[in-house]
Structure 1
Amino acid sequence: MPIGFTITGNSRGISLIEMMIAMLIGMLLLGGVYRIFISTTTSYRFEEELSNLQENGRFAMEFLTRDTRQTGYRGCAGSGVSVTNTLNAGAGALFDFDRAVEGYDDVADPNAADFVAMGITPIIGSDVLILRKMDSDVMVEIVEQMPDTSADIKITGGINPAPIADFDIVMVSDCQAAAVFQVTNYTDGGGSIKADVVHNSGVGSPGNATKDLGHSFGPGAEIAKMTTYVYFIGTNADGEPGLYYKVSSGVAQEIVGGIESMQITYGIDADSDRDIDSYVTAAGVADWATVLAVRVGLLVASMDEVLRGEVDAAAYTLNGTNIAAANDRRLRQVFTTTVALRNRLP
């Protein structure tokens, strides 16, 4: 018996119009999801770059604040004690230990002789900060009175690792005097309680102009390495700016990226009353011994361009200096802090 099928009028498939409507609705939903995804991704990138920018700014300020606060440390010898610098004249800013703090304002020529001598290449328009201090981490006591002001120095021996090496630049100080010289020979007695620090002239670089330290140091005096910190804004291999620093005769290193400008002013005591009278640029400092505080301004930018539909067309005022608009899509923020020189406080 044949089997038959009956198709009723109510049984039909999806029409082309219905399919097109369904596809349109799906595309609209998909477009909405995509827009939400893009918006979320953009917001995430913005927040991430802002967070990184702020972290870089804080990190840079932490470095600068720490070293600036400690600059000028001389052991027992306060800021009022004169320093005898026996190093050969003309050794350069890395060895000018008569000045605890020093700076260069508004760099015009990155290849100027002073910068070449220091081994740095700062960017045009930014400032350079130089800080010098006695290294308080490893200080050794003198154990025997110098028979005269040119004699070798006897210090605590048997220290491992040795606190001093040949050709280190060191300072010896007590509460009455201080002297800077280059060690020409350091000899530990090998189990002896004394080590011998020799400071002859005519040896090493920059070398000592004289053996005479100007003072006979004895028990209670301390000796330690001298350290010079040079902070500046440089550029890396990709041409991106960052905060660099150089420690003494070492190689300059980038410590924080995205730092576009550093502008510094110095709080000076013009009338010797131990109060700051004004803040001036490095060009306005007549006597670096009058500097009681350092005010640092940093312009920090995000590492990537994250602004959408607009550029950063704002000009910035950084510690009194006008910075032209970059007209790109990076985020920027100004950081400013004032640091008192602890070793020059009353």
Structure 2
Amino acid sequence: MGTRLPTLATRGRRAMRGLTLIEFMIAIVLGMILVAAIATLIANQSANRAELDRAGKMLENGRYAVQTMAEDLMMAGYWGELSAAPGTATAMPDPCSTTIAGAGNLQEGTALHVQGYNAPVTLPTNLAVCVKNHKPGTDILVVRHVDPDTSAVEKTSGCTAPYSPCVDWSKLKVGQVYLQTGLNSSGTALGWALATADGSTDSTTFAKVRKDKTTGATPRKLVVHIYYIAKCSVEVSNSCTDGDNGNPIPTLKRVDLGVTSNAPAMQSPITIAEGIENMQFDFNRYTDTDKPAAADVDGSALTFANWADVKSMKIYLVARGTEKAPGFTDTKTYVMGTAGAASAPSGDEGYRRHLFIQSIRLINPSGRGT
């Protein structure tokens, strides 16, 4: 009897029987390898994006910090129409003072358009009044001028032509210190008045006038800014020990002269930029022949008698990331002018850093040659 050939139905059943166990296991392994590869790719892309975000934030904070100070320094020594500061220093000014007259107070302070403190480890007693949680070893800078924008105290209606806008005495802020520059009532001499607005006698306290000898000259707000690096961004009970959720972030802050309870007062520090770890300033004095000195100085040897000679300066600023970069160790050194080289503090080598250097000409005092 011959061999029985498989029927059509039998051949169909064999062709439709599907994958074997080995084929199924191979497919699973290949799928897992593919999924693992995709997951690794996504994880790497996520890590790279996070690192780019950290680096971008660090650079943005550093640039903003330098730009903020540079723009303020370009206004340093601006006193309206005056060609010289309204005060003459007889002592080193107290940056935290809110008293107008007297040695070392606001009026005399105008003689120093900039004033620096070279890397103090412990703050001077007077400066510690308004500067809180300063990071030891970093510089402090004081900038003084008047506000060029007077729109907050002016009006456009009821002004004498062509002096529009003109001062609106009701808009002066009680307790704010203003500098008014203008002519005396007879129009024979240019003068100034530095006083605190009281809301009732301001039009007589600030009696300087414009060229028509009648229209009151507009007072300008006196600006005193103190820049420094704080040990943290957000304090806890006025301390940085537990600040920033236990991971203190060095932060550039600024203290401003303002008003509290209708009286002049240095305000609470405001944050300029987080992640600013080190800041040093170098200054250059111009000689009697109006030439720059041969070398920059750190300001430690300058006195109340020669700070006014400073016409240009340099900012050296190290910005660091607010978060550590996984697998990164900072072994660089950063040249900080006369302060020498700086490197990552012990234990903080895991943060990326960038050095910013900015040269600034102090336009107002250098333009006047005074």
Normalised by the length of structure 1, the TM-score is: 0.75
Q: Judge conservation of contact 1:173–1:217 (CA < 8 Å) in 2.
A: yes
Structure 1 partner of 2:45: 40
Q: 1:158 to 1:57 in 2, by over 3 A?
A: closer
Structure 2 partner of 1:213: none
- CA distance in structure 2 between the aligned counterparts of 1:9 and 1:172, rounded to whole angstroms: 104
- CA distance in structure 2 between the aligned counterparts of 1:40 and 1:83, rounded to whole angstroms: 60
Match for 1:109: what amino acid? T
Structure 2 partner of 1:316: 334
- CA distance in structure 1 between the aligned counterparts of 2:191 and 2:311, rounded to whole angstroms: 20
Query: Is 2:320 aligned against 1:301?
Result: yes
Structure 2 partner of 1:138: 150
- CA distance in structure 1 between the aligned counterparts of 2:309 and 2:329, rounded to whole angstroms: 43
Task: State how 1:247-326 maps to structure 2 within 5 Å.
Answer: 247-248=256-257, 249-269=266-286, 271-277=287-293, 278-286=295-303, 287-306=306-325, 308-321=326-339, 322-326=341-345
Match for 1:319: what amino acid? G
Q: Judge conservation of contact 2:298–2:338 (CA < 8 Å) in 1.
A: no
Q: Judge conservation of contact 1:171–1:179 (CA < 8 Å) in 2.
A: yes
Q: 1:244 to 1:93 in 2, by over 3 A?
A: farther
How many Å apart are 1:117 and its aligned residue?
Answer: 2.5
Task: State how 1:18-37 maps to structure 2 within 5 Å.
Answer: 18-37=23-42
Match for 1:309: what amino acid? G
How many Å apart are 1:185 and its aligned residue?
Answer: 4.0
Query: Is 2:71 aligned against 1:66?
Result: yes
Helix, strand or coil: the match of 1:24?
helix
Query: Is 2:166 aligned against 1:162?
Result: no
Deviates more, 1:314-323 or 1:84-93: 84-93
Structure 1 partner of 2:112: 99
How many Å apart are 1:217 and its aligned residue?
Answer: 6.0
- CA distance in structure 1 between the aligned counterparts of 2:107 and 2:58, rounded to whole angstroms: 31
Query: Is 2:255 aligned against 1:246?
Result: yes
Match for 1:275: what amino acid? K
Q: 1:177 to 1:119 in 2, by over 3 A?
A: farther
Which of 216, 221, 224 is the matching residue for 1:225?
A: 221
Identity percentage over the alignment? 20
Helix, strand or coil: the match of 2:292?
coil
How many Å apart are 1:302 and its aligned residue?
Answer: 1.8
Greater helix proportion: 2
Structure 2 partner of 1:147: none
Match for 2:356: what amino acid? F
Q: 1:172 to 1:160 in 2, by over 3 A?
A: closer
Structure 2 partner of 1:206: none
Q: Judge conservation of contact 1:75–1:222 (CA < 8 Å) in 2.
A: no
Helix, strand or coil: the match of 2:203?
strand
Query: Is 2:369 aligned against 1:335?
Result: no
Greater strand proportion: 1
- CA distance in structure 2 between the aligned counterparts of 1:30 and 1:292, rounded to whole angstroms: 64
Structure 2 partner of 1:144: none
- CA distance in structure 2 between the aligned counterparts of 1:196 and 1:180, rounded to whole angstroms: 11
Structure 1 residue runs of 4+, over 6 Å off? 7-11
* CA deviation vs aligned residue, 1:223-255 (integer Å, no higher than 9, x gap): 422110111111223121111111112221012
- CA distance in structure 2 between the aligned counterparts of 1:166 and 1:89, rounded to whole angstroms: 22
Q: Judge conservation of contact 1:186–1:195 (CA < 8 Å) in 2.
A: no
Structure 2 partner of 1:201: none
Gaps of 5+ in 2: 1-8, 90-98, 155-163, 184-188, 212-216, 235-243, 258-265
Q: 1:158 to 1:295 in 2, by over 3 A?
A: closer
- CA distance in structure 2 between the aligned counterparts of 1:98 and 1:163, rounded to whole angstroms: 28
- CA distance in structure 2 between the aligned counterparts of 1:160 and 1:93, rounded to whole angstroms: 25
Match for 2:362: what amino acid? L
Helix, strand or coil: the match of 2:273?
strand
- CA distance in structure 1 between the aligned counterparts of 2:48 and 2:107, rounded to whole angstroms: 46
Helix, strand or coil: the match of 1:256?
strand
How many Å apart are 1:165 and its aligned residue?
Answer: 4.0
User: Aligned-pair RMSD on alpha carbons?
Assistant: 3.4
Structure 2 partner of 1:203: none
- CA distance in structure 2 between the aligned counterparts of 1:310 and 1:83, rounded to whole angstroms: 52
How many Å apart are 1:337 and its aligned residue?
Answer: 0.5
